[in-house]
Amino acid sequence: MKFVQTIDLAKQAKGVAFKKRAPTCIKKIQDIAIKTAQCEDVQIGEDVNLYVWQKGIRCPPRKIRVQIDVKEQDNIKIAVVSLVDVESFKGLQQEKNE
């Protein structure tokens, strides 16, 4: 199963200390992936990690478009999160493919 969705990182990082913003955004991406895919384990792709950390710990991007692939290994569901490159976030909807 695949999910493609936009995550508003500015909303997730609001009110968080400057030196904790990028790590908090990574944790929130994991939480959203667990809730969306209904699984126990999440693997964040290297491209997502680099995109969040590209401006440093203080200034993560405002939004990110991710694809969540659900895979099953040994009766355990694993969500693999990867980056989707988009020019603009305007008018994008959440997509679900089975």
pLDDT of residue 41: 93
How much is the pLDDT for 10?
96
Which residues does the chain have with pLDDT short of 70?
none
At residue 92, the pLDDT reads 87
Cβ contact 58:18 at 8 Å: yes
Domain ranges of the chain: 2-97
Task: Give tens-digit pLDDT for 10-25.
Answer: 999 999 999 999 999 9
The domain made up of 2-97 is a member of CATH 1.10.3720.10: no
The reported pLDDT for the residue numbered 28 is 97
Beta strands in 1-98 (DSSP E): 2-8, 41-44, 63-73, 76-83, 95-97
